[in-house]
Amino acid sequence: MGPSFKGGVATPHHKKATEHLAIERAPVPERLVIPMSQHLGAPCEPLVAKGDRVERGQLVGDVEAFISAPVHSAVAGTVVEITDTLTPAGSRSRAVVIEPNESQELERFVAVPEEEDRVARVRAAGVVGMGGAMFPSSVKLKPPREFTLETVIVNGCECEPFLTCDHRTMVELPERVTAGARLVADITGASRVVIGVEDNKPDAVEALRTQAGSDIEVMALKTKYPQGAEKQLIMAVAGKEVPKGQLPAATGALVHNVGTVAAIADAVERGRPLIERVVTVTGAVRRPGNYLAVVGTSIADLVEHAGGLHDDVEVVFAGGPMTGFALASLDVPVVKGTSGVVALRAGETRPEVGEDQPCIRCGRCPEACPIFLQPFAIASHADADDWDGAHHYHALDCIECGACSFVCPTRRPLLQLIRVAKHALLDRGERP
């Protein structure tokens, strides 16, 4: 059993349906909706207008801001509208709507400008964290000067149940992953490169090791949720805790998702912008798979391509079941951070419960919490609108992994209550 972290939970895997299915390209949809905000930080401004013809890979949105990432068109086509859209995360964003041309040359794209600075190329390619957080990768590649980076950790854990997009990327494109890992190490001056993979993916470990050489360690980590959370992964690989309120870089470690480093390699070596990604469509759909979808594809179209939903589906979410966003409508676009679309039937989901579910003090949530919090205590204070009480139990340190709600035998909405407390505390200016 590989190294790991303290706390966490054993979640069911549910990966059998898609883990052995090769990545398959989803068809180019009849309409692309490309949100201007597919990243943490400043939203982009549209650089095209209605009626403009665009090429595949062409820049369609950007903004002058350090923390931001430009967006590109994934198809050759015509801009038909600049409008507002909902993103999978439920926020509103400006969006460029593009109608693709009849024929597409998907092997070709407009390369990002040749620049000396590799970090500038990463930014120009619009690369963001593809594990779901969508933090601009170029920013992470330039940590504040006071930090010395020693270790680049590539996150191949994919600890979320159901998802297999990273798994397939590691199995099918190990060379892209190792190339990206080496690039990140070279750019940041880190001397150690580790690819951390949960040990339920031996084929991914095997594939990566064929490319790893002597300069990259491929580490099989214990399969435990949330092994792929940044702080927990650093703990498992480097044995260090990220100090409270500080950047992970304070430990000398830098974490990037496998999909992200592959995109970094594509950006730096080939000038390829981030315009498509692998999305695992699974659960109660008729034809589960790992689909390579162009950014802006409607999730409804993607689900349609996956054979459609079964009739008794109750919840569909973007991302994994532990941290993903439930969708009220499938009419939202795939964005750079959309790792999966999972449909669950009634009875497969965490039951919807009233607010007055009692805590039976079983002690499972403090044991599960990878941050060693006492979720039951924060939740009871939040339930009573007692923000001071929630703060006393360090609500703001919560990483929102959901392990507490997952293990709660009375199904108290623990994380939901903690989120309420966090919002209230952040609103009044508290910091962790």
Partner 1 sequence: MSDEVEETRTLRVDSSPHIATPLSCPRIMGWVVAALLPAALWALWNMGTPAIITVAFALLGAVGTEWVWNAAAKRPQTIGDGTAIVTGLLLAMTLPPRTPWWIALAGGIFAIAVAKMLFGGVGHNLFNPALAGRAFIAVSWSGVYALTTNRGWFATLEMAEVEGYDAVSGATRLALAAADRAAEGAYGFDQAAQYMDYLFLNLEGSLGEVSGALLILGGLVLIARGIVDWRIPLGYLGTMAVVMLVAGEDPVFHVLAGGVLLGAFFMATDYVTSPMTKWGRVVFAIGCGLFNAVGRLYGPAPEYTTFAIHFMNGLAPLIDKAFVPRTFGWVKGDG
In the complex, the residues that contact partner 1 under the rule CB under 8 A are 9, 11-12, 161, 231, 241-244, 246, 300, 304, 308-309, 313-317, 319, 321-330, 342, 344, 348-352, 354, 358-363, 366-367, 370-374, 376, 393-394, 397, 400, 402-403, 405-411, 413, 415-416, 419
Indicate the residue among 183 and 414 with the shorter CB distance to partner 1: 414
Indicate the residue among 58 and 405 with the shorter CB distance to partner 1: 405
Cβ at position 298, least distance to partner 1 in Å: 11
Angle, helix 375-383 to helix 414-427, in steps of 10 degrees: 70
Indicate the residue among 96 and 344 with the shorter CB distance to partner 1: 344
What is the 3-state composition of the chain as percent helix, strand, coil, each rounded to the nearest 5?
30, 20, 50
Q: How far apart are the first and last CA of the chain?
A: 33
H or E element that contains 95: strand 92-100
Q: Between β-strands 276-283 and 45-46, what pairing exists: parallel, antiparallel or unpaired?
A: unpaired
**Dihedral (CA of 252, 255, 261, 267) sign:** negative
- Cβ count near 105 (within 10 Å): 11
State the greatest distance between any 2 C-alpha atoms of the chain, in Å, as a whole number.
Answer: 61
Cβ neighbors of 432 (< 8 A, separation 6 or more) are 244, 245, 394, 396, 397
Indicate the residue among 80 and 242 with the shorter CB distance to partner 1: 242
Indicate the residue among 271 and 283 with the shorter CB distance to partner 1: 283
Indicate the residue among 360 and 426 with the shorter CB distance to partner 1: 360
Whether the Cβ atoms of residue 155 and residue 167 lie closer than 8 Å to each other: no
Cβ at position 55, least distance to partner 1 in Å: 28
Cβ at position 358, least distance to partner 1 in Å: 4
